[in-house]
């Protein structure tokens, strides 16, 4: 007999995350799939990517999946993307020292309860059509729909004023993060390169001290620690081209790492903009995106951004995998009307 027909003796009362609290969900889920965790981390609510394979009895779009720990507490999740009836990339905010958990599914009427704001330290895909997630945005920051990477909207930090100190705040998007170590991921495009400086900056701040994590400058991908430097893999940067960029600020080892379109381009010793070393274990107060500081005349420079995530980082990331066959919850066969086929 197919092991999925085993009666687990379980009737799941499920909870979903809403505005930071647990609220009952009246839906019942026919199936429970155990998930093992390799390389469990001591970091609480660590975002971990799980490649979920579609299982019989699951909605094709994965909208009915839920995750709970051994005590039945909900683990926040967000579906980054899904291929109907095949697989999905799912992010979970994994509790510290978790070695196993369960995925519940099997409710055709369930809606997707994924919440990226409950998974990541900071998330912005601009699909809200506003800038409400940011703690501060200058007057040159806007949401627009003309130049996007995915979805309907993206951010634009446009610059059309000379590089004067009193105008600097106009071209900043700032998010409070209070975290470290961190990983920063996002899609970035610049319309022009400045005459002498960069056109798009990714920064992290520790109070008034700033780290230039990565910027697109002089047709190169660079960082700044008192001197502009290329990463060890000196790759060119082009205008009007979307780049998927990932930066890791490994403060425990005072080291930074960078990737562009999945290619690792090198590491660096973390230093502030004045060249002073970043202390090990520092906690960053803010994450910032800054537009060009080199506009002189002509059309505005644009620093377009999309799909931004700032998340907690572990040097050794947990790995999640299905463990054993799914178990059917007691009493759901009659309600669902049919059973998943044997395989």
Domain-embedded: residue 192: yes
- Beta-carbon contacts of 211 under 8 Å, excluding residues fewer than 6 positions away, are 203, 204, 205, 249, 256, 270, 271, 272, 273, 278
Q: In the 8-state DSSP scheme, what is residue 43?
A: S
Q: In the 8-state DSSP scheme, what is residue 7?
A: B
- At 303 the pLDDT is 92
Domain-embedded: residue 341: no
Alpha helices in the chain (DSSP H): 116-119, 333-336
**Token digits of residue 173:** 């998007």
Q: Are residues 325 and 307 in the same domain?
A: no
Q: Are residues 148 and 277 in the same domain?
A: yes
Q: Tell me the Cα Rg of the chain.
A: 23
Q: In the 8-state DSSP scheme, what is residue 116?
A: H
- The predicted model gives 68-86 an average pLDDT of 95
CA-to-CA distance for 340 and 256, rounded, in angstroms? 48
Q: Are residues 81 and 136 in the same domain?
A: no
Q: Are residues 257 and 330 in the same domain?
A: no
Residues pairing with 223 in the sheet: 229
Contact between 313 and 181 under an 8 Å Cβ cutoff? The reply is yes
Q: Are residues 243 and 183 in the same domain?
A: yes
- At 283 the pLDDT is 95
- At 294 the pLDDT is 64
Q: What is the pLDDT of residues 196-206, one digit of tens each?
A: 555 789 999 99
Domain range enclosing 177: 122-312
Q: In the 8-state DSSP scheme, what is residue 186?
A: E
- Beta-carbon contacts of 176 under 8 Å, excluding residues fewer than 6 positions away, are 135, 285, 286
Q: What is the pLDDT of residues 290-317, one digit of tens each?
A: 987 666 667 788 999 999 999 999 999 9
CA-to-CA distance for 286 and 160, rounded, in angstroms? 25
CA-to-CA distance for 224 and 174, rounded, in angstroms? 19
Closest CA to 218 of 241, 238, 244, 246: 238
Domain-embedded: residue 342: no
Closest CA to 176 of 115, 122, 103: 122
Q: Are residues 207 and 294 in the same domain?
A: yes
Q: What is the pLDDT of residues 164-180, one digit of tens each?
A: 554 578 889 999 999 99
- The predicted model gives 47-63 an average pLDDT of 97
Full-model pTM: 0.86
Q: Are residues 321 and 276 in the same domain?
A: no
pLDDT: which is higher, 15 or 225: 225
| Max CA separation in the chain (angstroms) | 75
- At 14 the pLDDT is 38
Q: Are residues 137 and 279 in the same domain?
A: yes
- At 293 the pLDDT is 64
Instruction: Tell me the pLDDT band of 334, cut-offs 50, 70 and 90.
Output: very low
CA atoms within 13 A on the CB side of 256: 28
CA-to-CA distance for 227 and 271, rounded, in angstroms? 11
Domain count, the chain: 2
CATH code, 166:
2.60.120.200
């Amino acid at each position: 007999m197919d092991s999925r027909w085993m009666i687990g003796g379980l009737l799941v009362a499920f909870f979903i995350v809403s505005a930071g609290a647990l609220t009952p969900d009246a839906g019942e889920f026919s199936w429970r799939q155990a998930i093992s965790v390799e390389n469990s981390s001591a970091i609480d609510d660590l975002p971990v990517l799980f490649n979920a394979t579609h299982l019989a009895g699951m909605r094709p779009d994965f909208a009915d999946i839920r995750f709970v720990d051994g005590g039945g507490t909900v683990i926040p999740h967000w579906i980054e993307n899904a291929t109907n009836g095949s697989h999905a990339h799912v992010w979970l905010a994994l509790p510290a020292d978790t070695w196993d958990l369960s995925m519940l599914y099997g409710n055709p009427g369930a809606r997707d309860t994924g919440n990226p704001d409950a998974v990541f330290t900071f998330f912005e895909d601009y699909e809200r059509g506003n800038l409400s997630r940011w703690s501060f945005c200058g007057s040159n920051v806007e949401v627009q729909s003309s130049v996007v990477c995915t979805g309907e909207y993206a951010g634009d930090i446009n610059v059309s004023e000379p590089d004067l100190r009193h105008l600097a705040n106009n071209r900043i998007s700032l998010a409070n993060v209070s975290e470290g170590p961190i990983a920063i991921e996002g899609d970035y495009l610049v319309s022009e390169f400045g005459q002498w400086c960069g056109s798009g900056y990714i920064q992290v701040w520790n109070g008034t001290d700033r780290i230039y994590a990565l910027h697109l400058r002089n047709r190169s991908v660079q960082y700044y620690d008192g001197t502009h430097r290329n990463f060890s893999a000196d790759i060119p940067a082009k205008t009007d081209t979307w780049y998927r960029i990932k930066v890791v600020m490994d403060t425990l080892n005072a080291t930074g790492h960078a990737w562009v379109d999945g290619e690792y381009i090198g590491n660096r010793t973390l230093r502030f903009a004045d060249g002073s070393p970043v202390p090990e274990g520092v906690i960053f107060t803010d994450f910032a995106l800054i537009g060009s500081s080199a506009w002189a005349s002509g059309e505005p420079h644009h620093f377009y951004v999309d799909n931004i995530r700032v998340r907690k980082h572990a040097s050794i990331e947990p790995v999640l995998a299905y463990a054993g066959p799914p178990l059917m919850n007691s009493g759901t066969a009659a309600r669902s009307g049919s059973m998943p086929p044997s395989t």
